[in-house]
Structure 1
Amino acid sequence: MLPPPARLYAGQFVLGTALSRVPEGWAEYAVGRWTLATDLPVCSVLDPDGRTVGALIGFAVTPDGAVRDTPLTLPEPPRPDTATAVEDAVYAHGGRFACVVAADGFERLYLDPGGTLAAVYGWGGAASTGTLLAWAHERTFRAPSPPLPRDGFFYAGRTSDPEVQRLVINHYADLAAGGAVRHHWNEAPVCAPDSETPALVREIADGIRRTIRAAASRGPVHMGITAGRDSRMLLACAREVRDALHLYTFAHPSSGADVAVGRAISRKMGLPHTVIPIETPSEATQEEYLVRTGYAGHWGKAMDFYVGVGEHLAPGRPLLSGFGGEIARGNRMQYVLTPDTPITPEMMLDRYEDAALPERVEALQRWFDGVTWTDTFAFLAQAYWENRFGCWAGPHLYGTAQGATPLVPFIDRRVVDAMARLPAAYRLESRIADDLIGAGWPELEQFPYQRRPGLPGFAVRVYDAVRRRTVGRFMR
């Protein structure tokens, strides 16, 4: 039996002009002709004359590294011709947020740059998940049949219900018209010359520190640590708030290196550390997780972020993870491609190990048609970010244990744009980790990264190339 809606959909929001029902105890806000219902923090969005024209939902981090808890005043009244000014004001923030702006002729829902406070739209409204949207409008959300496999997900705006669409990163939902419009990265970012790399790395480090500083400003924070590079980069950028850190590592059956390195780092640096055991949840918990996340993927992550975190970490604290750093590192397909190699929807489907059914090809083709690129390597970064991260990782954050605030410090427009523009060779060699760690907390360099047995250095890339049977699957 599922828990009551206020608990089942904790940490989510729903938006509509005629909501049939709202979870008990949730606050309701009037935004133009729209009603916003949520249990998340909300800051008013004001026009230059002080009139309320919107709401900033969630955990927004200001440019000076603080949690926004006061109204956001736009520099211009929201109109189609002032959209750039409105968006610049919204995306001056990092963190995990969504923003609805509703004025005459301008009714839009924006996501943070990683879609980590994910949203779907349909049936005349929008919500965090299709299941909540359906519940609030007294409809039925169509679950996937058959269920998605372990690594399965819906991309390019698809969900398991054809009447509900996912809002893809870098798009806003046109609430009046009922569709989505791209507002950023209309052209894929172009890889910068080597001479610009130091400035890009500084931008990345500064943005990560802003979010970490904001999270730690209110007390202790939990931060994931593994034998990988992304969590190590995160920790290096958190040195200034080390007294607020409590590290954690999931003890997956194949994660012996993660646990060993996590323990070694915590001992050496004098940081508290919790190893979280992993157990298969009950069928009831699996179903609860799937409904809570809107059937955006498999229930597998219920083992760690839902059950594991809920049972083994202190509730009510920010939960920081290294998701998102992948965009700054090499994409395996780049080992066999050149910057001008064409990419097709069929190749993308092969990368997702998904059958090239007509509706899937059509969805990806629409996404392809919405962006132009001259650099295939930069396009691969955009494809990964908007489809894999935004349509898989972002929605799964709703499956975090109740009471925890999941935050991804890599999520900041300036950070994401800088990562996407790093030179291809720099990304392929994962040099971002060396530079961020060396500058931020060089003592962390002494600990090994997880490598495939017997394959140090460049041989890892040779292994990856040999292991893949088709060109398309190098995109993984």
Structure 2
Amino acid sequence: MYEGFVYAVTMVKDTKMDLSASLAERTCVVKGWSFKDTFRFHFRLSGTETKPCTEWQEARIGEWFLHHCPDLLRHEVYLGDGRYCGVVLGVAVDADGMVLEGAVHLPSCDTLAEVASYLEGLAGRFIALIALDGAVRMYFDPTAGLSAVYSARDQAVASCVHLAINRELKPEPAVRSEDVMQRKSQFIFGETCDADCKRVSANHYLDLETFQLVRHWPKADFSFQAESFDRNGAAHMISQRLTQILGGLSNSYSVALPISAGTDSRILLAAARPHLDRIDSFFVHDIYTVTQFDREGAQMLADELGLELQVIDRRKPIFSEFLNDAEIGSIRERMAIGTSLSFNGIDDLAVRAACLTPSCELVLRGNAAEMSRANKWTPQTVRKPVSDRDGVAALLNVRENQLEDVVAPSRLEKLLLGYAAWRETVPEGARDRLPDLAHIELFMPTGPNNVYYAFTRNFYINPYNDRQILLQTAWFHPLARRRKKLVAKIIANTTPKLDKLPYIRELKQRHKDAKKKGVS
């Protein structure tokens, strides 16, 4: 796949096409792809007035031109005195549970600080471009779910590298994109497939005057060292807000909810209980040997709630018949370019499954909810101060004593320096939860959130992606979270019977025990 992409870029140099066009446009011309279909849900901000696609929409903010796919909804933002100050692009739910639709009027906001505070209270998957008080800034949702890259050299911000640049790639020397797509390595600390394009971090805005990321949350005086913390109250707040967000989304869009035998989708399903009749479809993937357990668990959940479950099953004829090998290869290549050469679908089975996702506007995913079980903490780090080595290991999803086995010495040194530099930007009072903050700010924007650009059939969104939900989750002690205390409380607040059904580990053990009995 990657060699084919290099060939395409080389061929572009030999044609007479407009070299001022973005690399994305030029690649689509050479490959014969539809730009609109390839870059659905994408955007670009630059000083260039010409749209990359005639069907894309445009907004001008100061000297900047924002071009975006028409399926990525735009909401103009107006201050209390009626002044226009920018746009929100994407899907967002406000603090009152209302989905942004059309123009957004902020009667109590007249300053940049007040607008920023409003944006911090939004859940969803979006960016906000604000020009006010002499500044032009781009803000991001709580985990940078609508991820972006930026380049001071190219004076552009975009959803992917190929939209941001109108030149050839300048490969990042530390990481090969081929290795990232094969899941042998990963970009981190702002790295992308281009050395001059950097990935944004959550909880930071991008200053478009300096092209520097600036932290805006948590505030300098924030601390996790509260005198008292009500665990039941925190779990109730999470459940209540999650139900509110799910209600807003399901009332405003056609939505599908994938369910499995895991924890994260069950949290969403439980919180969605009051709105199940407004969710258009529930589905599960059964495409690998291990996914039989997800299917079994999902069916139990569906039966318990009286839901019709759609199974995307590799054994059904349609699974192998509706796309040929050449079409799969083309889809995987477009996935790679849409994700800045970070993800190309894992394998053909996963690509076929993604293309069979139910027809709907939004797919509600459980990403970010993994924090409820302290996914970036180990039995060791929950009981001692987290070192920089611990932090890097968590980002790489390995144990601290495995670092030298999976990372070259020079690479490890760079990662440790990057982590230390990031840590210094975190307020002192928030450093008790460094693994959680690193997961939100560093891992999610470059990992799962960027991967969402690969899926152009539906707009993927994380209902758990809300700053107050994430804050209350992180406040819960990681040891209690690892013991599933928070998960149990969240589900108990809405649909307690769901927590009594077996999770994937128990289902696997049941099958293992049954197999032993059968053999004996």
Q: TM-score, normalised by structure 1?
A: 0.86
2:431 matches 1:431: no
Distance in 1 of aligned mates of 2:185 and 2:244: 33
2:468 matches 1:414: yes
Kindly indicate whether the alpha-carbon contact (under 8 Å) linking 1:30 and 1:36 is maintained by their aligned counterparts in 2: yes
Counterparts in 2 of 1:349 and 1:436: CA distance versus 1, 3 Å: closer
Equivalent residue of 2:246, what SS? helix
Counterparts in 2 of 1:350 and 1:406: CA distance versus 1, 3 Å: closer
The residue aligned with 2:160 is 129
5 Å-filtered alignment, 1:276-295, equals: 276-277=312-313, 282-295=328-341
2:429 matches 1:371: no
The residue aligned with 1:118 is 147
5 Å-filtered alignment, 1:42-441, equals: 42-74=74-106, 75-78=108-111, 82-83=112-113, 85-103=114-132, 105-122=134-151, 123-134=154-165, 138-142=166-170, 144-148=176-180, 149-150=182-183, 152-185=185-218, 190=224, 195-218=229-252, 220-245=254-279, 246-253=281-288, 254-277=290-313, 282-297=328-343, 299-300=345-346, 303-304=349-350, 307-314=352-359, 316-331=360-375, 333-337=377-381, 340-344=384-388, 348-349=392-393, 352=396, 353-356=406-409, 357=411, 358-373=413-428, 378-402=433-457, 404-441=458-495
Q: Which amino acid aligns with 1:386?
A: E
Residue by residue over 1:227-271, the C-alpha shift from the partner in whole angstroms, topping out at 9 and shown as x without a partner, is 111111110000111112321112241222101111222233221
Q: Which amino acid aligns with 2:501?
A: F
Counterparts in 2 of 1:337 and 1:59: CA distance versus 1, 3 Å: closer
Distance in 1 of aligned mates of 2:348 and 2:198: 24
2:87 matches 1:32: no
Equivalent residue of 1:415, what SS? helix
Distance in 2 of aligned mates of 1:48 and 1:192: 35
Distance in 2 of aligned mates of 1:291 and 1:126: 16
Equivalent residue of 1:99, what SS? strand
Kindly indicate whether the alpha-carbon contact (under 8 Å) linking 2:58 and 2:65 is maintained by their aligned counterparts in 1: yes
Counterparts in 2 of 1:54 and 1:339: CA distance versus 1, 3 Å: farther
Distance in 1 of aligned mates of 2:391 and 2:104: 43
Q: Which moved more, 1:161-170 or 1:283-292?
A: 283-292
> Structure 1 residue 453: deviation in Å?
8.2
Equivalent residue of 2:450, what SS? helix
Number of aligned pairs?
Answer: 446
The residue aligned with 1:472 is none
Counterparts in 2 of 1:346 and 1:2: CA distance versus 1, 3 Å: farther
> Structure 1 residue 375: deviation in Å?
7.2
Q: Which amino acid aligns with 1:325?
A: A
Report the structure, 1 or 2, having the larger helix content.
Answer: 2
Q: Which moved more, 1:342-351 or 1:256-265?
A: 342-351
Equivalent residue of 2:493, what SS? helix
Equivalent residue of 2:247, what SS? helix
Kindly indicate whether the alpha-carbon contact (under 8 Å) linking 1:156 and 1:363 is maintained by their aligned counterparts in 2: yes
> Structure 1 residue 368: deviation in Å?
2.2
Tell me how large the CA RMSD over aligned residues is.
2.7
Counterparts in 2 of 1:382 and 1:116: CA distance versus 1, 3 Å: same
Kindly indicate whether the alpha-carbon contact (under 8 Å) linking 1:152 and 1:298 is maintained by their aligned counterparts in 2: no
> Structure 1 residue 443: deviation in Å?
2.5
Kindly indicate whether the alpha-carbon contact (under 8 Å) linking 1:16 and 1:34 is maintained by their aligned counterparts in 2: yes
Distance in 2 of aligned mates of 1:170 and 1:8: 29
Residue by residue over 1:349-394, the C-alpha shift from the partner in whole angstroms, topping out at 9 and shown as x without a partner, is 5851443525444433332221244676511111222222222011
2:469 matches 1:451: no
> Structure 1 residue 449: deviation in Å?
0.6
> Structure 1 residue 311: deviation in Å?
2.4
Distance in 2 of aligned mates of 1:54 and 1:350: 37
Q: Which moved more, 1:441-450 or 1:319-328?
A: 441-450
Query: Identical aligned pairs, as a percentage?
Result: 22
Any gaps of 5 or more consecutive residues in structure 1? 457-476
Counterparts in 2 of 1:5 and 1:147: CA distance versus 1, 3 Å: farther
Counterparts in 2 of 1:140 and 1:346: CA distance versus 1, 3 Å: farther
Larger Rg: 2
Q: Which amino acid aligns with 1:324?
A: A
Equivalent residue of 2:418, what SS? helix
